[in-house]
Structure 1
Amino acid sequence: MIGQIIEKEHIGDFRIIPAAEDRTNSLHDKLLAAQRLGNEFKSKTTIVFQTEDGPKRIETTVWSLTEQYLQIKGGVLIPLKAIIEIDF
């Protein structure tokens, strides 16, 4: 899996930018599954997203999902267009 591992508390230290390829549609089912895992089972998901400093990877619980964003703990929003990979 690509991406430098960072703590989710440090997401704000990086400028999130769109990934080279918008994978929102192809990752849709995985995003919904990650939200369900977070809400029903408190399971963590690995999320790789693009920043100006290159791909970053976090392991966290997905709280909610909108048409444009994935929300994690603390109200942190990650744009779906920035997500490169998602795994659980």
Structure 2
Amino acid sequence: MDRSSAIHVAKELIPYLTFPDIDVLTSKNLMKERDEEIKKALLLGNGDHEKVRIYFEDKFSLKQVETTIWGMTEKHIILKKNTLIPKKAIRKIHFN
């Protein structure tokens, strides 16, 4: 994944994006690593209000947003104002 090609998107625009129907990761190991990154980001967000950079895909391109993860469900991460990103759309989480 070339992070430099990711398009920055404001978190307020995320609800208007269309996400892929299938997981953007094909390896079970990468999916497990992503789940661990989400858990770590959630702890940092709730404890220290620390922002992370989330690299994810919509149906058109690689996107990135810098924000705090406030919660998660089985299928989504939750940002401020109940903004959801499907876990299956997330490629990587970068810790600042």
Do they superpose with TM above 0.5?
yes
- 2:64 aligned to which of 45, 53, 57: 57
1:53 aligned counterpart, secondary structure: coil
State the identity as a percent. Answer: 30
Question: Could you give the per-residue CA deviations for residues 27-69 of structure 1, whole angstroms, max 9, x where no partner exists?
Answer: 1211111001100000001101111121110000000122211
The one-letter amino acid of 2:13's match is H
Q: 2: distance between equivalents of 1:77 and 1:16?
A: 11
Structure 1 segments (4+ residues) deviating >2 Å: none
User: Is the 2:15–2:84 contact (alpha carbons within 8 Å) kept by the matching residues of 1?
Assistant: no
Structure 2 residues without counterparts, runs of 5 or longer: none
2:34 aligned counterpart, secondary structure: helix
Root mean square deviation, CA, Å? 1.5
Q: 2: distance between equivalents of 1:6 and 1:50?
A: 11
Question: Which deviates the most, 19-28 or 76-85?
Answer: 19-28
Q: TM-score, normalised by structure 2?
A: 0.82
Q: How many residues align?
A: 88
Question: Which deviates the most, 43-52 or 16-25?
Answer: 16-25
Q: Which residue of 2 aligns with 1:27?
A: 34
Q: TM-score, normalised by structure 1?
A: 0.88
Which structure has more strand as a fraction of its residues?
A: 1
Query: Which of 1 and 2 has greater Rg?
Result: 2
1:14 CA drift (Å): 1.5
Q: Which residue of 2 aligns with 1:3?
A: 6
User: Is the 1:38–1:63 contact (alpha carbons within 8 Å) kept by the matching residues of 2?
Assistant: yes
